[in-house]
A and B are shown apart, each in its own frame.
Chain A
């Protein structure tokens, strides 16, 4: 686009725009971390993105504008269309998918730059450690790309099996070693297309191999980790291209994503190393050391409704089972009926309820539940002791007292919602089996627990009728 703007002015304008974009990204993320301002946050960050993208067309010395615009249109429209259509329950895998695209893009940038170094046209010679960073970004971005796609396939239900074979970790180690050697060759020696292609193929492979053995329950942590990795890859490619908006946005996301990953792993009591290098939910450590005593006692939905209608305080604990049954709207209706009767109702959300932290909040928000009725684990756990009824609906492991009592349980040490401490517990559940993780839930056998079997939506409907009849 030489000629439209004098080169000096174009350079200044581009740098100024990237600066503004970087500020808007950080400010937007900051606003996104509070519920009241969150929506404005994403809009500001969006403005930053538009500013940065538009001004990039003015970058001097570029060609291929037709290819560029058509790629933006095709990619943008496809993503817009899928993003608008996806159901809220499927949000986690969509995030994984878009994140994989970002990782793939960063890796592809690295590939172009490495090829350009080879043809001698590289703009990367003057940048600090440009080839090393390009290689590193390529590796991280490619792993995030193939890993995210596997995570997407798993959450979408296209890949139900957990693949594991003996010697897997040795194989991963060998591939990783090969990647280091190839990366060194690419960064430091004469270009060889054999090393170039082998590097990318192996990087794709390691992303797949790392992700296939991980069970669905751990996927949120994995997606968050790949999100952080993509950020890092983008940041590294930003250093390669000397693009400050990419450097700052990428590294900010890299570190924010790492912290978010840690928070999630902590909430699930699953150290990140365990998630990546050990299996979970495969049943090889399902034995429980504490004897299960007592029996499960059933209750009718209408009886359960009456005990809630006469309660002073009810806490609802929703889990992914509720979302699968699409019962959140009915539950909100039930809540409104209870509030009309003068019952104080709150929602207690475990950090990993749903498919990832905060996912349940999104699902409840979709049903119209105001966020100030919704409480985190730390805020509500002390309140169970003076609660009349805890209504557990579609949740299982997050209310299992085995996490407190049974040192041999795989979930021992995981913070749980202390539903068992309330005076009465009503559990809405489809059948008598164990949940997602296959662990027996001690709560179901407690004296103050009543089981209400049936489809969550159905049960909620009957409960609404029950409350109305009081």
Chain B
């Protein structure tokens, strides 16, 4: 990829992240940290590609670890975020 395209993606994504978070109320800081922790679980996809192209045993072992950890990040991140957010209710809602 051309260097400047990469830089543009970097810049726009960075601004997006900043904007998305900037108005969040304090009560959601922990769930949101957990949610963003889940989102970088996308590393799983890269780990799969890395393992999918691994040839030597060393590469396979490291690739396996990458997928294992990436899956842990994605699944664990989702479960705890969902559990936390599940509990947020307004007094007008029932149950």
Given known A116-B59, A239-B6, A374-B27, contact A259–B46 (CB-CB < 8 A)? no
Interface residues on B, range: 35 or more
Given contacts A41-B85, A83-B80, A102-B70, 6 further A-B contacts (CB under 8 A): A35-B27, A62-B49, A77-B75, A115-B56, A245-B42, A255-B15
Q: Are A255 and B14 in contact (CB under 8 A)?
A: yes
19 A–B contacts from the bound complex (CB under 8 Å) = A29-B17, A29-B39, A38-B85, A56-B48, A59-B49, A64-B51, A67-B67, A68-B48, A75-B75, A102-B77, A106-B43, A108-B50, A126-B1, A251-B13, A260-B32, A264-B29, A358-B31, A370-B89, A374-B27
Per-position binary interface string of chain B over residues 5-28, scored 1 when its CB falls under 8 Å from any chain A CB and 0 otherwise = 010011001111110111111111
Chain B contacts to A: CB under 8 angstroms: 1-3, 6, 9-10, 13-18, 20-56, 58-60, 62-93
In the complex, the 6 A-B pairs of residues with the closest C-beta atoms, listed nearest first:
A62-B52, A83-B79, A75-B71, A79-B76, A370-B91, A255-B17
Q: Are A251 and B64 in contact (CB under 8 A)?
A: no
A121 CA to B92 CA in the complex, in Å? 60
Pick from B29, B55, B65: contact of A119, CB under 8 Å: B55
Chain B residues with Cβ below 8 Å from A267 are: 26
In the assembled complex, A91 has its CB within 8 A of some CB on chain B: yes
Q: Are B76 and A101 in contact (CB under 8 A)?
A: yes
Chain A residues with Cβ below 8 Å from B31 are: 32, 38, 358, 362
Tell me, rounded to whole Å, the shortest Cβ–Cβ distance linking B95 to chain A: 9
Q: How many A-B residue pairs have CB under 8 A?
A: 398
Q: Are B70 and A75 in contact (CB under 8 A)?
A: yes
A374 CA to B88 CA in the complex, in Å? 11
Interface residue total, chain A, C-beta cutoff 8 A: 123
Given known A356-B29, A358-B26, contact A105–B47 (CB-CB < 8 A)? yes
Chain B residues with Cβ below 8 Å from A73 are: 71
In the assembled complex, A188 has its CB within 8 A of some CB on chain B: no
Q: Are A243 and B29 in contact (CB under 8 A)?
A: no
Tell me, rounded to whole Å, the shortest Cβ–Cβ distance linking A72 to chain B: 5
Dominant SS among interface residues on chain A: helix
Pick from A67, A80, A356, A365: contact of B51, CB under 8 Å: A67
Q: Are B45 and A243 in contact (CB under 8 A)?
A: yes
In the assembled complex, A321 has its CB within 8 A of some CB on chain B: no
Chain B residues with Cβ below 8 Å from A227 are: 33, 36-37, 40
Q: Are B27 and A256 in contact (CB under 8 A)?
A: no
Tell me, rounded to whole Å, the shortest Cβ–Cβ distance linking A352 to chain B: 9
Chain A residues with Cβ below 8 Å from B39 are: 25, 28-29, 45, 49, 231, 249, 252-253
In the assembled complex, A151 has its CB within 8 A of some CB on chain B: no
Q: Are A248 and B49 in contact (CB under 8 A)?
A: no
Chain A residues with Cβ below 8 Å from B49 are: 56, 59, 62, 241, 243
In the assembled complex, A357 has its CB within 8 A of some CB on chain B: yes
Given known A112-B59, A121-B55, A128-B1, contact A249–B81 (CB-CB < 8 A)? no
Q: Are A349 and B9 in contact (CB under 8 A)?
A: no
Pick from A95, A108, A126, A246: contact of B42, CB under 8 Å: A246
Pick from A36, A68, A92, A371: contact of B67, CB under 8 Å: A68
